[in-house]
Structure 1
Amino acid sequence: MYNIYLKKYSSYIGHNAKIANPPCFPHDKFGIFISGNASIGKDCIIFQQVTIGTNHLPDSKGMGAPTIGNNCYIGAGAKIIGKVVVGNNVRIGANCVVFEDVPDNSVVVNEKPRYIQKNEITNKQYKRIDGKWKFYNNGLWEEELDEEVLNKLNEI
């Protein structure tokens, strides 16, 4: 039953994760990943697409699972990776990546985004179909005919 429930939400919560009491999932459990050995304190709020993951790389200084304190707010898409300690009463902003300890009563935010202005940007999605490079346009896959683009794609 547990696996069916998690599959429905595309989620995973390790059987050996330590959770003090049921967290609040304001947008349900969609895309939540909590690895085994992770520890989560009381009264935490966890939004969708959050990863609380163990680092298994032996040559990494952050090898291990996260420990999250009480009364923490973890925004949508946040990633908490490795043997880090997140203190009590911490807010982690949406899409932040945490890989170092966070002290009690702190707010974690990303730096201001950086914008790079270009003259023109083409965001074509390419895929090899039936041996030919095609791009997605108006709901259909169209064959790419530009030799310069084809040469670059063939280097992949």
Structure 2
Amino acid sequence: MAVRLPILCASSWGGFYLGIGLKLQDIPAFPHGLAGIFISGSASIGRNCVIFQQVTIGSNTLIDADDAGAPTIGDNCYIGAGAKIIGSVRVGDNCRIGANAVVYKDVPPNSTVVSGEMRIIPHEKIKDNHFYSRGLDGWRYWEDGGWKTASEDAAGICEAHFHFS
């Protein structure tokens, strides 16, 4: 069941826009808050997505455009800082959109899009696109609109990759 949100705007020091009619399958993780995020009211975002700051998921409203419409983002997608996803494009499940990448074509499931000229990199295995964070009670990840305790294997990987003083 999709969640529908009203228009949400904050002051100029931390403005964001989540359009009326936006379809969310659950609440995405916003690791750096909502600063600078713009999501069109006609967009659709799947479950367990991670969206970083300064991301635009916007409609193309030019009536003579071939890609008029809004993006559809699949489940388990990771959208890096400054990414722009524009028009009636579909981003498949388990995708990664790199920082500052501009997406204007469909992206197949299990792929990564990087900045510069858009390149699609297919993956043989599904990537773990969860957002992990170290809490007071250990490592956790965001899924289904809330925090879950990370497995021992995932916690070990997090400890090996992220160093805290």
TM-score band (shorter)? 0.5 to 0.7
**How many residues were matched structurally?**
112
Deviates more, 1:58-67 or 1:1-10: 1-10
Q: Does residue 97 of structure 1 match 2:97?
A: no
Q: Does residue 74 of structure 1 match 2:75?
A: no
Q: Which amino acid aligns with 1:12?
A: Y
Whether the 8 Å CA contact 2:93–2:109 is kept in 1: the answer is yes
Measured against aligned partners, the alpha-carbon deviations of 1:94-147 in whole angstroms (never above 9, x if no partner) come to: 0000000000000001238xxxxxxxxxxxxxxxxxxxxxxxxxxxxxxxxxxx
- Give structure 2 stretches of 5+ with no counterpart: 1-5, 118-165
For 1:3-14, list aligned pairs within 5 A.
3=8, 5=10, 9-14=14-19
Deviates more, 1:5-14 or 1:38-47: 5-14
Q: Does residue 48 of structure 1 match 2:50?
A: no
Q: Return the match for 1:106 from 107, 111, 114.
A: 111
Measured against aligned partners, the alpha-carbon deviations of 1:1-27 in whole angstroms (never above 9, x if no partner) come to: 964647663100011000110000010
Answer 1 or 2: higher relative contact order, Cα 8 Å, separation at least 6.
2
Which has a greater percent of strand? 2
Q: Which amino acid aligns with 1:94?
A: A
Q: Which amino acid aligns with 1:110?
A: S
Give me the whole-angstrom Cα distance separating, in 2, the residues matched to 1:4 and 1:100.
Answer: 29
The DSSP-based 3-state class of the residue aligned with 1:65 is: coil
Larger radius of gyration: 1
Give me the whole-angstrom Cα distance separating, in 2, the residues matched to 1:22 and 1:37.
Answer: 16
Q: CA, structure 1 residues 110+8, in 2 after alignment: closer, same or farther (shift >3 Å)?
A: closer
Q: Which amino acid aligns with 1:103?
A: P
For 1:117-132, list aligned pairs within 5 A.
none
Measured against aligned partners, the alpha-carbon deviations of 1:65-110 in whole angstroms (never above 9, x if no partner) come to: 0000000000000000000000000000000000000000000012
Q: Percent identity?
A: 58
Q: Does residue 88 of structure 1 match 2:74?
A: no
Whether the 8 Å CA contact 2:101–2:116 is kept in 1: the answer is no
Q: Which amino acid aligns with 1:65?
A: A
TM-score (norm 2): 0.64
TM-score (norm 1): 0.67
CA RMSD between the two structures: 1.9
- Give structure 1 stretches of 5+ with no counterpart: 113-156
1:26 maps to which residue? 31
The DSSP-based 3-state class of the residue aligned with 2:75 is: coil
